[in-house]
Amino acid sequence: MERVQSLASPKLGVRWLQLAVGVIGLLFAGIIYAWSILAAPLAAEFGWSNSQLGLNFTITLSVFCISGFVSGLISKKTTPRARLLLSAALIFLGFFISSRLQGAIGVLYLAYGVLAGTAIGFAYNTIIGVVTAWFPDKRGLASGLLLMGFGLNSILIGRVAANMMNNPAIGWRNTFFLIAVVTAAVLAAAAFIIKSPPKDLILPEPKRRETKETGEPARDYTAGEMVRRWSFWKLFIFFFLLASVGSASISFAKNIILDIDGSDNFAPTMVGVLSMANGFGRIVSGWLFDIIGRRKTQFVTSGVAILAPLVVILALSARSLALGAVGLILCGIAYGFAPTGSTAFIGAFFGQKNFSMNLGILNLQLIATSFASTWAGAIKDATGSFTMTFVILTGFSVVGLVLNYFIKKP
């Protein structure tokens, strides 16, 4: 025991390096959320419609979810390094092939949707699962910081990509190629740094609350045991409803701003601000989960999720750029609550032993969520407005609020 205790202190300091590298890795993997920026030159060059481009986002999110599940499934038989190196190779292929598009949208769906989506799913599940294992005492904060990195891509990298695509000397093809090279390099480097905590390392104990509502789970649940609990399916539905608000908003944020008379220069900036709000929501929700517990955090989440689409509806009706900006920021914050909440709930409700697998299963709800961008694009094409989309999203959020009352620990 003395040997383990003596090793604990220096080894424990490594966890902050793991967290920092994890944040950087997810920052680049978060290119999935810059789609509304990256899609613009494709629509201009090839004449693809909102619904066609929305379908690519749907495919990407669906494959992201499935690959996250697969990553969890094989996590005990493969190393984090192997999964991250595979992710690096696939993200390079996905963006490299996309940079060579000649007008066949099926190639976009295969390259960006399937290959890049698979890469991001593997990177996401691996980094979240491995890095949060170093922080049993600060699970909400660690997952919030990691997911903040994932959500900030649009404003930090997406904005740079927008400027590059608008530069005639670079263009969208070279931009896609550079994204392929840099993102692959970052994930490959992370593969040699991120690793699971040593078995002999004594990690700080989680802060245990006295109440049943916020306490640690009595035991670890296998995936089969988890999916047989009603508490899991209530969480599944709740996070589907919540994430739909953000999915529709992020995929068409630029279009929404343009619809309320925002300028071509302001629209990409607003996409980045929404991304910042998304990141802010992720870290705040993680902090709230640790400080006030999951139940109170749930109701804060639902309140923001109801208010957000209502403000967007008002903005569209009044053609108010200020209200549109506020509404989209609130949508980003609400969306930020979803991944951090799902990560924290899996650990708090079903334990850490099978965390990667269980998280991958819960995140399968994003397959259904991803269709929010597809039907939002279809409604826009049919009606010429996003108003009906946000009316539906408001209804989703109200149902989520009601569902909150019935979500309890297994």
Which class is domain 14-198+213-404? mainly alpha
* DSSP per position, 71-92: HHHTTTTS-HHHHHHHHHHHHH
Note the pLDDT tens digit of each residue in 66-80.
898 888 888 888 999
Per-residue confidence (pLDDT) for residue 94, from 0 to 100: 95
Q: Report the helix count and the strand count for the chain, using DSSP H and E.
A: 19, 0
What pTM value is reported for the model?
0.73
Q: What is the pLDDT along the chain (410 residues), one digit of tens a residue?
A: 333 433 444 566 788 899 999 999 999 998 877 887 888 888 888 888 877 887 888 888 889 888 988 888 888 889 999 999 999 999 999 999 999 998 889 999 999 999 999 999 999 989 988 998 888 777 777 877 887 888 777 777 877 888 899 898 999 999 999 999 999 999 999 999 999 888 777 777 666 543 444 445 457 888 889 999 898 999 899 888 888 887 777 777 777 887 787 666 676 677 667 767 877 887 788 778 777 777 788 888 888 889 988 998 998 888 888 888 888 888 888 888 887 788 778 877 887 778 878 888 888 887 777 677 777 778 877 887 788 888 888 898 899 888 887 888 87
Residues 165, 115, 282, 379, CA torsion sign: positive
CA distances to 67, 107, 144 from 74, in Å: 10, 28, 25
Contact 252, 380 (CB under 8 A): yes
Domain residue limits, the chain: 14-198+213-404
Tokens 């004449």 sit at which residue?
47
- DSSP secondary-structure letter at 113? I
Per-residue confidence (pLDDT) for residue 133, from 0 to 100: 84
How far is residue 205's CA from residue 207's CA, in Å, rounded to a whole number?
A: 6
**DSSP H/E element including 205:** none
Task: Give, in degrees to the nearest 5, the angle at Cα 191 between 12 and 173.
Answer: 135
Contact 113, 176 (CB under 8 A): no
Contact 343, 121 (CB under 8 A): no
Per-residue confidence (pLDDT) for residue 188, from 0 to 100: 97
Note the pLDDT tens digit of each residue in 262-299.
666 676 677 667 767 877 887 788 778 777 777 788 88
Contact 58, 373 (CB under 8 A): yes
Task: Give, in degrees to the nearest 5, the angle at Cα 148 between 16 and 391.
Answer: 160
Give me the torsion for CA of 143, 91, 268, 380, rounded to 10°: -100
